[in-house]
Amino acid sequence: MQAYVTPCIGQPPIGLATSRYSWQTVLLFTLILHALTADGQNINRQQVRRLLADLSVSQPTEKRIPILLELGKFHIYKPGESKVDLDSARLYLYQAKKLSDSLHLLTRQHETACLLIVADLEGGDTSAGRGKFSQLVTECQRTGDQEGEAITRHRFGIWQRNFAPDSASILTNFHRAATLYRAIKKPQQEIQMLQEIAITHFYEGHILLAESELRTVLTRYKAIRYDKLHYTYNLLSAIARVKGDLKEGLRYGLLCIDSMNKTADTASAAAFYGDLAEIYDVAGDQRQRIEWYKKSLAVWRRERLPNYALFNAAGCIAKDLIAQHKPQQALTFLQKLVAEIPTNTLIQKACVAQNLAYCYKSLKNYPVAERYYLDALARYEKNNLDFEKSLQVRQDIGTFYLEQKKYDEARYFLIKALTKLPQKEALSTLRDIQLMLFKVDSAQGMYLSAINHLNRYKVYNDSLVSEAKSKQFAQLQVQYDIQAKEQNIALLTDRNEYQHLALKRAETTRNAMIVGAVLLVGLLGVSYNRYRLKQRSNQMLEAKQREIDQKNRSLELIVAEKEELLNEKEWMLKEIHHRVKNNLQVISSLLNAQSDYLHDATALAAIRESQSRVHAMALVHQKLYQSDNLARINMAEYIHDVVDYLLESFNLQPPVESVLEVVPLQLDVNQATPIGLLINEAVTNTLKYAFPSGNRSDVVRSIRISLQPLDNQLYRLLIEDNGVGLPADIDPTTSNTLGLTMIQGLSRQMGGHLLIYQNDGVSIQLDFSPLKKAERSLIEKT
């Protein structure tokens, strides 16, 4: 069953597990994946156990009723639609009703009646829901129970927002509830109603209005010293993310986590962690993204309740494993999770199908992947769900068909994803779809349309990943990292002050004893003389100290200026590498466009080889601007990317396997680039000539690349294949073919020793030193 509650951000609106939800005016909700807030299932199993313990020792007084109501709400708002959970909810609510009747507590009677109506609605009795709520409102007015009417209108508005959308009626109920709470002087509840109004405007797509209202809510909460601000921060973070303002999104997201930790109100921790991970995902910080998704998944699994957000977080972790070339591990992880916590709603099943499709696609089981993609889409559409994940599945299917070179199908689904209500989608999603459409149009020769999509992609990408935003984003992360240490620092400061006072008291006591001794022996004159000398000495020391302090301040200013200049230099270098990479990609795209006008096989092959060389060089600059180290390249990752690109480009059948044995080695750009080009030439020649069709079909065709140390100053690069070898009339040392000429030239550029020989195929061996020439000369002299 689903909760009639104010949603946390990152999940589909509450109640979407059934096909009853069809509110087409809900805009932008990328947002609603975790249904836990102040008015819904805001307790977890650990808190339920505490409530049950309190219930067992409580007396039949007014204090017992809130415990019964909280337990009733917990069972009502559990995910799924279990009759057992609804029966448990009614059991607690009937006990609360009986006790409130016996104590003649009017408001509690009306609140219990309201929750019983919600339980009936969850059981499927929706036809009479509106009438029952209206009757209860009338009864509250007749008895003069203003608080009971406010509670009923609040829940009535939530129910309407999920199952019977009528904006005017919903907003009327929330405004009326706020007025009633103001009249009975309950400011916290009044502000909560103002937040519900803002959420309703957010659902309707009035983003700026909702943001303004939430800022007012935040100001008023602070004015009454209400400390559970994390729910409001979470909403503001979601608005910022949808607007593409990642800096503000991260700032509010971190404030949300900080507020949650300070108040120990961790019932919605999993939802908040997942929302923060979404922001890091858009910003491209995969390490932080996976860290927060793992935290979210861990909390959901402790609850052992099926939940859409649980399977969404698991899917993101699975995609990270796939990116690490571990698709089978990702598939096993998802299968074990579903076996441990089975799905119980259509939306959960859709999410799992979408995640499995990613795994089977990476395992190259394309028919099964296609079936899961289409199954996920069908389940989302059956529920009329148009939020970020359901829109993403259309993008995923479009990308899948693009990779299969089914361009018409790819265009259909990508345009569907783009036009299904594009204002719902975050800027990052629009950016990725535009890039896919550029590739589709380029492949089919629709160059004007392709250029148009590429320009839109650059606009969206520049909006999300500008230098200024990246710096501010990093600064916010650093600020958050140091907050955890501030309390320890404050405690240490207090301890130091205490010790300082103790030392001052000890010094005062010592001076008093000295003065007393001097008085006893009558050496007043000597004491006065020494006092004067000491005073002059202190004045000199103080003057010296002031001079030292002034010099220290000057040095601090100089150091700060140097650090600022270094930081600016680093950002400029990253921007330069980024632009070089983009320019090389433009060159590659132009070569690709030029190939469509060529019909000569030799010219087409030359174009493709040039593209692979450009890609090898572009990868170097991409690795540099994505890395914290702007001077050196991780060769294991770089070689892996170059080889994967070439194998995918040639797409030989049967496929050629690659075996990479590369030690962790960091090289500067002057060495990484020629090595990348050398590997590009060697592997290209192998894929072109080593495995002619029909030859040695019984042997697994493979390329082995090894980069291993020989000693402290020397490394060996070895590229081998098990193909047919070199023709008898070709001598690799004297051949003037372009590929071998480039390999020899690149080897000389690196100052390495090249050896090409045949051994069940062709082997290319290069011994080189990772040290720069100046460093090698210095070592040789010593």
Indicate whether 29 pLDDT > 60.
no
Measure the CA–CA gap between 353 and 237, rounded to whole angstroms. Answer: 29
Q: Which residues contact 147 (CB under 8 A, 6 or more apart)?
A: 107, 180, 181, 184, 186
Q: 646-781 in CATH: which number?
A: 3.30.565.10
Measure the CA–CA gap between 109 and 389, rounded to whole angstroms. Answer: 41
Indicate whether 486 pLDDT > 70.
no
Q: Are 704 and 769 in contact (CB under 8 A)?
A: no
- DSSP letters of 167-203? HHHHHHHHHHHHHHHHHTT-HHHHHHHHHHHHHHHHH
What is the arithmetic mean of pLDDT over 215-243? 91
Q: Is 760 left (phi over 0), alpha (psi -120 to 50) or beta?
A: left
pLDDT score of 25 = 30
pLDDT score of 106 = 92
Top-confidence residue, 459 or 99: 99
In the three-class reduction of DSSP (H, G, I as helix; E, B as strand; rest coil), residue 769 is classed as: coil
Would you kindly state where each structural domain of the chain is located, as residue ranges? 126-211, 397-464, 543-630, 646-781
| 696 confidence band (pLDDT: 50, 70, 90) | low
Helices (H), 324-365: 327-340, 346-362
Q: What is the CA radius of gyration of the chain?
A: 34
pLDDT score of 15 = 34
- DSSP letters of 1-13? ----SPPPSSBPP
pTM listed for this prediction: 0.53
Indicate whether 349 pLDDT > 70.
yes
What is the arithmetic mean of pLDDT over 550-564? 79
What is the arithmetic mean of pLDDT over 132-161? 89
What is the arithmetic mean of pLDDT over 416-438? 70
Indicate whether 390 pLDDT > 70.
no
Mean pLDDT score across all residues of the chain: 79
**Which one of 540-554, 706-720, 767-781 scores highest in mean pLDDT?**
706-720
Strand partners, 718: 706, 765
Q: Are 464 and 282 in contact (CB under 8 A)?
A: yes
Indicate whether 128 pLDDT > 80.
no
Measure the CA–CA gap between 751 and 770, rounded to whole angstroms. Answer: 10
Least confident range of 25-29, 315-319, 642-646, 723-727: 25-29
Q: Are 42 and 8 in contact (CB under 8 A)?
A: no
pLDDT score of 38 = 38
